[in-house]
Structure 1
């Protein structure tokens, strides 16, 4: 990563991420082995994860059961518990940040990307608005102070998707999506939830609670009857919905990446000709004002 082209806040975030990863040692968190620095660049030697994203692997399955979702969710919850016990809030839990270690059937899921993570040992509450639409907790959207429980909300959204194939809150317009999240009203629509156990539904309902005071900690989630139990059901029919959601998610991420690249190119063009206003610069200003 080139430090000379980074904004100051991005460089600070990178330093924070490197320090957090250096201090973490857990079998379900991607390991940072070494960092190397030159005058312009910093290089991170990370644990090799060859199994791909969790959702990508699941949609490839021909048969899918509730117990499979439970296994992965238990692993993620343990990784989050370890983070919280070490005063670290991830703040960006989403499918892209859940990776399988390898391509075998026994591969384990690991938590990755601590770019938005925060150490909150001295001050347990945070104010910075961050996260990914669809997974962000309502207290962040309300502009309130928040704590570790924002990770529990994001974890619950992922759990919901794993069980039925689509998110509890969805709208192509982010403003409407955020309104849905702040209201916190969701359903278990038929037929996608018909085969899902009552314990699993209770597990989801216990976490997707708007008031963070009433939301359980991740340690409490690990003791829920569904995670410690053995209830099972066939969720194979829901793989079709998960494939659709996963494809739409990847397409949206690709479009967002292209838009970000275009904005960066316009900014660079403006810097190269600071005294000559260009259509690109005018466009960039117009976009920032929208």
Structure 2
């Protein structure tokens, strides 16, 4: 039986009293994600594990920001934080398990999407990003690897994950350079200050990739890549874009 998503905070309680920790699902710069099973209910979850000794001051600030943001989110297309265990040597974030894989893998498998398929996939993501923006949250690292499916079903719900680079941006502009090179907006590269619009830039890049199977901006050299992004120089090359509507091209070009 699925428990409600009221966030529970445990201090000085062991996660091992509640969950059995299983195989590793992924590894980031300062966290490991493992699968867990709730001992009482059998519910499967994803558990993000942070070793306190490995965290420097900046990492601690970033982790606190991620927790603050995740604890605000309540949207069907954004990953949910269920529980936090704050132990002597580790912090554990218990998140809902999204077992259906990344949008990235589905793009590789399909090679390209029809306009309707792309629209049906992206619409809930745009809805979730609008919701985040209404709370003053900018994700800043939207990419197909951070969009996960709940299950392997073809019609599975898709959700935004990995809010590690997300920030609250209310009236002021953010200036930190961050994100993944191919998806990053020109405002972030230029460092002049940016707001919520950077997430829509990334969504435009994702739509482009879904429709043709390759990115609008690509170069092995990051400096050349960033120059292409800053000037907004990309094309809709034939034959890949011959059957794509002007409406879709206009949307991407916005």
Q: TM-score range by the shorter chain?
A: 0.7 to 0.9
**Partner SS, residue 150 of structure 1:** helix
1:67-86 equivalences in 2 (<5 Å): 67-86=116-135
Shift of 1:106: 1.5
Over the aligned positions, Cα root-mean-square deviation in angstroms equals 1.3
Q: Which has the larger radius of gyration?
A: 1
Q: Alpha carbons of 1:48 and 1:96: their partners in 2 closer, same or farther (altered >3 Å)?
A: same
Unaligned runs of 5+ in 1: 207-290
Cα distance between partner residues in 1 of 2:176 and 2:245 = 37
Which one has more relative contact order, counting CA pairs under 8 Å at least 6 apart? 1
Shift of 1:171: 0.2
Cα distance between partner residues in 2 of 1:83 and 1:64 = 26
2:157 paired with 1:108? yes
Q: Alpha carbons of 1:64 and 1:120: their partners in 2 closer, same or farther (altered >3 Å)?
A: closer
Determine the structure 1 residue equivalent to 2:181.
133
Q: How many aligned positions are there?
A: 205
**Partner SS, residue 63 of structure 2:** helix
**Partner SS, residue 60 of structure 1:** helix
Normalising to structure 1: TM-score of the pair?
0.68
Unaligned runs of 5+ in 2: 1-49
Q: Alpha carbons of 1:136 and 1:64: their partners in 2 closer, same or farther (altered >3 Å)?
A: closer
2:153 paired with 1:96? no
2:89 paired with 1:40? yes
Task: Kindly provide the CA deviation profile for residues 41-93 of structure 1, in whole angstroms up to 9, marking residues without a partner as x.
Answer: 10111111010001212333498422111111111111100000110000111
Cα distance between partner residues in 2 of 1:42 and 1:197 = 49
Determine the structure 1 residue equivalent to 2:70.
21
Determine the structure 1 residue equivalent to 2:243.
195
Determine the structure 2 residue equivalent to 1:56.
105
Cα distance between partner residues in 2 of 1:66 and 1:191 = 16
Shift of 1:3: 1.1
Report which of the two has the higher share of strand. Answer: 2
